[in-house]
Amino acid sequence: MLTSLFCLRIFEKVNMSDITVIGSQFIPADEIFKNSSLKLPARLILINTKYSELKLKRNLSLQNVSIRRLIFPFGLKIILEPRIPIAKAVKNVSKESKNGFVDKDGFFIPEKFAKVTKDQIFLTTIYGWEEKHRKIISRILKSNKQSNFEFTKITISKNGFLSIEDKFLKMILIGFEFNQIDTQLELIYSIKMQLIKDQFTKEIDSIDLTDPTNPKIKVFKP
């Protein structure tokens, strides 16, 4: 009898009232369904949960999505795991810019989908975010945390020039060669520690690390 009931229920149609969403406090319900492939009503057995998971994860910039078919209680359970913002970001879209945030892996989170409270403070802002720069942004953000840097800005211009602004060291020019970033980050740490140790008092204008073998420090002239 139970087997027969199970077989019958998987062919029943799922309606909106049969769906439970967990972890959606920061995402409007209409956005969840608009950005999935779910077209309801639909028979439970015919719902492509994997495809819907991929669409939601990509469209809403989520860390993870799980969609489960349920017989008792009947319906779908959608579990959303949001990305955790650690810095503000501005994404260039055509001729406009789009405000949002990034997580530790450099993924862009649109402002309206970000899990952020009103009193939350972000010390770093990324300008010129693009998908192709995601890994380099992640590398810098992780270094910022691990090495106790005070990066306030990470800027990638439209032509791909990278610069970083540090609270103590001011403007740091990185350049176009992202494959040197580990060496450059090590240099930033070494320079900062040495200047603090030497009680360097001059006001720094910028540090040029575009050629890591020949770092240059420019100071304001009195």
Region at 196 (left for phi over 0; alpha for psi -120 to 50; beta for the rest): alpha
Cβ atoms of 127 and 153 within 8 Å: the answer is: yes
Domain boundaries along the sequence of the chain? 2-82, 87-219
For 8-24, give the DSSP string: HHTTSEE-GGGEEEES-
For 130-147, give the DSSP string: -GGGHHHHHHHHHHHHHT
Residue 82 burial class via C-beta count within 10 angstroms: exposed 0-12, middle 13-18, buried 19 and up: buried
Residue 6 has what pLDDT? 60
Can you tell me which residue has the tokens 């060291």? 169
Residue 96 burial class via C-beta count within 10 angstroms: exposed 0-12, middle 13-18, buried 19 and up: exposed
> What percent of the chain lies above the pLDDT cut of 70?
96
Q: What is the pTM of this model?
A: 0.88
CATH number, domain 87-219: 3.40.50
The helix/strand/coil state of 88 is strand
- Chain segment 163-201, per-residue pLDDT in tens: 999 999 999 999 998 999 999 999 999 999 999 888 887
Cβ atoms of 78 and 29 within 8 Å: the answer is: no
Q: Distance between CA 137 and CA 131 in Å, rounded?
A: 10
Residue 220 has what pLDDT? 81
Q: Distance between CA 67 and CA 102 in Å, rounded?
A: 25
Q: Which residues contact 62 (CB under 8 A, 6 or more apart)?
A: 56, 80, 81, 82, 83, 113
* Cα dihedral across residues 187, 188, 189, 195: positive or negative: positive
Q: Distance between CA 84 and CA 104 in Å, rounded?
A: 8
- Chain segment 68-123, per-residue pLDDT in tens: 999 888 999 999 999 999 999 999 877 778 999 999 999 999 998 998 988 899 99
Q: Distance between CA 128 and CA 162 in Å, rounded?
A: 10
User: What CATH class does 2-82 carry?
Assistant: alpha beta
The partner residues of 67 in beta bridges, in order of sequence, read 78
Q: Distance between CA 26 and CA 198 in Å, rounded?
A: 47
Residue 4 has what pLDDT? 62
